[in-house]
Amino acid sequence: MKKYFITGATGTIGKEVVTALLEKNNMVVAATRNTEKSKGLFGSKVTPIHFDYQNRNTFNQIEGTDGVFIIGPPLNPALFELLEPFVNYLQDNYTGRVVYLSGYGMDTLKEMPFHGLMEDKLKTSNLNWNIVRPGFFMQNFGNYERENIEQRNVLFSPAGEGKTPFVSSRDIAGSIAVLLTDANRKHQTHILTGAKAYSHFDVAKLLTTITGNPIIYANPDPDTYRKVLKDSGTPNFIADYMIPIYSLIKNGNIKNTTDSIKTLTGTDPETLEDVLRRDFL
């Protein structure tokens, strides 16, 4: 039985990767800064360990594992500097498989080079690497927009009229599980998307049908978005980070679909409607 080391094991993607690996009868080391949360999610099904990219003394816990999934914390423009020491350690001490979670379209954001830097580092390393570039997560509406949707009947993101093929975290995780466990796949980069592109106006219509409440997409300009976040007490760096990210949708940089999920997993990706129904009903 193979064993896999999953960072961010209690997060949106990490917990789904853990689940996907367990369903394939693999052993999992759930690496997180919150082992109690890991125990609450998975019980005795995993080995929970305390892991911190800022603590090199936790790196040697990869010993005896067959693959590592690397995901960084969200909203961190210094991501490359945070993750680089761990990748350096892997280069010197690890022969297993490595899968890194990057982002669809991030290579076009010159003001946010961290994913590109990490991809380049992996591609020039001696590691057995694979890279996934997922689009915007379908689950973000339930995880981060729920209060606006349920209490204010509004979507409030500066994505303009652009469309993008939102992707389910479960499909991302299933693809990552394949790349971790399939020895025939190495040195591959996969853009992971849903099968259909939607605008935020489209999402608002779906939510209106699903919830029975009239949900509107406010389509704020960046200045309005920044002011509303600031007035609500949100730290300034959140808007500084999110406005360029949403510009990927607004400017049409991530509008195309791929068939990577079906190629990797053998199944069609979940639809946005299915995920929204699961999250809001």
Whichever domain contains 180, its CATH number is: 3.40.50.720
Exposed/middle/buried for 22, CB within 10 Å: 0-12, 13-18, 19+?
middle
Supply the mean pLDDT for the chain.
97
227 lies in a domain? no
46 lies in a domain? yes
Question: Which range marks the domain in which residue 80 is found?
Answer: 3-136+167-193+256-269
Helix (H) / strand (E) element for 217: namely strand 216-217
pLDDT digits (tens, 9 = 90+) for 89-109: 999 999 999 999 999 999 999
3/49 Cα distance (integer angstroms) = 14
Answer yes or no: are the C-beta atoms of 101 and 71 closer than 8 Å: yes
116 lies in a domain? yes
243 lies in a domain? no
Question: What is the pLDDT, as a whole number, of residue 207?
Answer: 98
Q: Give the number of domains in the chain.
A: 1
> Letter for the amino acid at 248?
L
Report the candidate in 157, 151, 161, 143 with the shortest Cα–Cα distance to residue 229.
157
Question: What is the pLDDT, as a whole number, of residue 95?
Answer: 96
As given in the structure block, the two tokens for residue 17 are 């990767």
Which H, E and C letters describe 14-27, residue by residue?
Answer: HHHHHHHHHHCCCE
142 lies in a domain? no
47 lies in a domain? yes
Question: What is the pLDDT, as a whole number, of residue 142?
Answer: 96
DSSP lists the bridge partners of residue 164 as 198
pLDDT digits (tens, 9 = 90+) for 224-274: 999 999 999 999 999 999 999 999 999 999 999 999 999 999 999 999 999
Read off φ and ψ for residue 99, nearest 5 degrees.
-120, 130
pTM: 0.97
Instruction: Report DSSP letters for 154-179, one per residue.
Output: EE----TT-EE--B-HHHHHHHHHHH
Report the candidate in 45, 44, 61 with the shortest Cα–Cα distance to residue 7.
61
65/97 Cα distance (integer angstroms) = 9
DSSP lists the bridge partners of residue 167 as 137
Read off φ and ψ for residue 161, nearest 5 degrees.
-100, 5
As given in the structure block, the two tokens for residue 75 are 């909203």
Read off the pLDDT of each residue in 67-82 and give the average, rounded to a whole number: 96
pLDDT digits (tens, 9 = 90+) for 165-189: 999 999 999 999 999 999 999 999 9
DSSP lists the bridge partners of residue 98 as 68, 129
108 lies in a domain? yes
Report which DSSP code applies to 268: P
DSSP lists the bridge partners of residue 230 as none
198 lies in a domain? no
Exposed/middle/buried for 255, CB within 10 Å: 0-12, 13-18, 19+?
middle
